[in-house]
Structure formats: C-alpha cells, structure tokens
Chains A and B, each alone.
Chain A
Amino acid sequence: MKRINKMIILSSVLVLLSIIFAFVLSSQEEYEVVNIQCDRMVFDTLSEIEDYAVIVAEVAAEEEQGQEVSSFFDYELKKELPSGGYTKRDMTITKVYKGDIEVGDKLVFLHDYYIWTYDDGRKQLITLSGFKPLQKGEKYLVFLQEEYKKGEYSSAGDYLGLYPVDTINDYLKAPESADFSYIYDMYQVDNMEKIISMYDDVVRKYHKD
C-alpha cells in the first residue's frame, strides 16, 4: 500500500513538472519574424510627432490582450492567407505630457504585429512595425494617435513614436552605447540616422533627471 502511494505521488509530481515545463517552453517560444513592407505616414521632426499625437505620455506596458487578424482565401493556393492584424496590450499612464488623461489611467495600445498559424501548426510573427513587441513591466515614452475604438491607441510614426525609458537614460549617459535592440535590425540599417536625430531631441526634452 505504501509503495502504491509513493508511485501515485511520484507520477503526479512528474505530470505536474511536465505541465510547468511545457508552459514555460511555450511562453518562451521564438517565432520566425516576417516583416511586411508598408507605406505609412512619416514624421521628420519630434515637433511634428508631438503636434500630431493626441497623447504624449510615459506608460508602463502590461499584459497582451489578444489580437485581431484578417485573412483572405487564395483561389490558386486554395487556402487562407494572412492579410493583416495587430496585437492589443494594456498600458498604464505613469506621466502625462499631453492629452486628456491622468496618471493611473489605463489605455489599450494596438501594435501592428500578430501571430499567424499555418495549417501544419507552424507559426510566424508577422509585423509591419519597426519595433519589437513591448516588454511587460517596462516603461516607454509614447506619442499616441487614436484608433477606431475609443480608448485604443497606436504609436504615431511607429518606432519614431515610441522610446523605452531605459534607452533614453542610456542615451543620455553614453549615446554610443545605448541599446537599440528593441528595433528590428533592418530599421537600423535604413533609418538609424533619423532614429539618432530623434533621440537627441527626445533626450533634450524628456530625459529623466
């Protein structure tokens, strides 16, 4: 009897460990990233983005709240293909520079990336954005534009409307060693000059003392 009890306990622990392990693995899953070419509104200066944005604030990124995805049926390939999407994420306001909001308010941030699952179970992270998914708990200086639904916003000018507070502080101390890894590498090749120019202006105006 004692031996059977021990076996049951051991099996239960093993099952529990497997579940935990699988959960940890899935949450750390790395997807192949696909960058979609797009034509979007551009801003040349910080003041242009400031004027255009309805909210300028420091925010703390919170949980993802799901995604919206669109697709179409391709008559030649006879399957559904992705055509667009975005991910929703809660944000909490921690500082206000512009807009009809207060510290502590919550808003929903729309980021134009989504996970597409193919028929065979493969997944891709498909993105129109130059910056990678935000990190929960991190703080960002954001310049936001309104989306269709009240309370939902996206970044004005994509990566030009979003600055991790840590990177701003790094840039202030030592520009050459600031960490821009939150931006996809192809944007570093194409637009680094513009990004650095924006950082100069952002740091001068919004840096933490």
Chain B
Amino acid sequence: MKKVLCLLLIVLLSSTISFEKAAAVQLSYYGSGSYVDYAPVEPLDGIKFYVDYSAISKYGSGAFSSAFDWNGNYSANVAMIAQYPASWSSYPTSFLIQVSTTLLNGVYGDTYYFNAAGTCINPYYTFPMDQNGLYKCSIGLTSREHLFWKNGSVCSEYLEKTIIHEVGHVFLLKHPANVNYAFSVMNQGLPNNSTIASSVTSLDRWNITEKWGY
C-alpha cells in the first residue's frame, strides 16, 4: 500500500512539474538574443535612456520615470533616465526616447535595434530580440496624443503603458504569443482588465528573470 501511494505521489508530482513546464514554455516571451560584450549600455549593467525635447515638450517629464517599473530583485534594470533640457551629447551612449512624427495612426510606439555599425538588426523571418550583435536601441512615441486620450486629455496610465512596453522590448521581451492567457504589459494595445496590463506584471518579471537571471 505504501509503495502504491509513493508511486501515485511520484506520478502526481511529475505531471505537475510537466504541466508547469509546459505552461511556463507557453507563457515565455523573451528573445534568445543578446547585446554584444562591448555594448555601452545593456540590461545587466543597467539601461540608460535619454528623453529628448520632442518627447518632453509633447508629454512632459513625469511619465518617463515609469521605465523604472521594470526594476526588481533581479539583475536586469533601468539605471538612468536623463531628460531634456540636459543635452543628449552629455549622455551619448544612452538610448534615445523621442517622438516619431512618422508613426501612423493607431501606433503608440516602436523600438529600433541597431548593431555597432548603426545598421538596423532584424534579418527577415526572425525577431530582433533573437539576434546576437545588438548594440543599441531607440524608442519612438506617437506624436498623436489623442491615442492616449481618456475623457479628452492624455491619460498617464495609457502613456506609461506604452513607455513601459517599449522598454520591455529593450530588455528583449516580445509580444506574448498566447495573448489570451498572458496578463502582460507586453501585449499590444491600451490597458484592459484582462490581458493588457498598464504596468509590469509578475509574468513579465518572470520572463525578465528567465532571460537575464537573478
């Protein structure tokens, strides 16, 4: 009887572990890529951003500190956010955050990845987050502030969600493949109460630690 119970316990534990592993695989959305060793800024050293005049004049300075939302009890972090009126030339290695006047309607923000030669990375059929050779990123925000409106004015929750989302891409997180099951700030769109979070969730942090370690 004891042997049977032990066996049942082992089977139960194994299937639980398999289920959790399968669930974990389904809910992982970090890229397999990396920044080069000589990248001046990268997640484990602390990402540094510079927010330029276009972004500050459009949206003010308050929202950008939301990027620090990614920080937690793990190594990868946002180390600094310099802002206009400081000059970007004083922080030349920082990743730029700016307003992009060519983003079409319906696009809240985007993230570019460059190698050390300043070439955009992302060979066809792959994601840039799966590429090695990443050197720097830049983030663009829409110039159409009405996309962030709630009751006629810019809603900070909406704006901050986009900022945090794009910074997540700098950490090499992708959009979750299974959008129906992942409550994540990395899902596209404005926050809702079911799948699109307005800030970093526990699942997002799990992905950060899976990617970059503790």
Contacts and interface: CB of A to CB of B under 8 A. Distances in A.
Contacts of A35: 122, 124, 127-128
A75 B89 CA distance: 6
Interface of A: 32-42, 68-70, 72, 74-77, 79, 81-86, 110, 112, 116, 118, 122, 124, 126, 128, 145-147, 154, 156-158, 184-186, 189-190
Nearest to A144: B105
A118 B104 contact: no
B106 interface: yes
Contacts of A68: 102
B123 interface: yes
Contacts of B111: 36-38
Interface residues of B, number: 49
Interface of B: 40, 88-89, 92-93, 96, 98, 100-112, 114, 116-129, 136, 138, 140, 147, 162, 165-166, 169, 174-175, 177, 188-190
B126 A186 contact: yes
Given A37-B169, A40-B108, 14 more contacts: A32-B124, A37-B111, A37-B129, A37-B174, A38-B109, A39-B108, A41-B188, A75-B88, A75-B89, A77-B116, A86-B102, A110-B104, A122-B119, A154-B105
B120 A34 contact: yes
Contact of A156 (B106, B114, B124, B166): B106
Nearest to A42: B189
A39 B162 contact: yes
Nearest to B88: A75
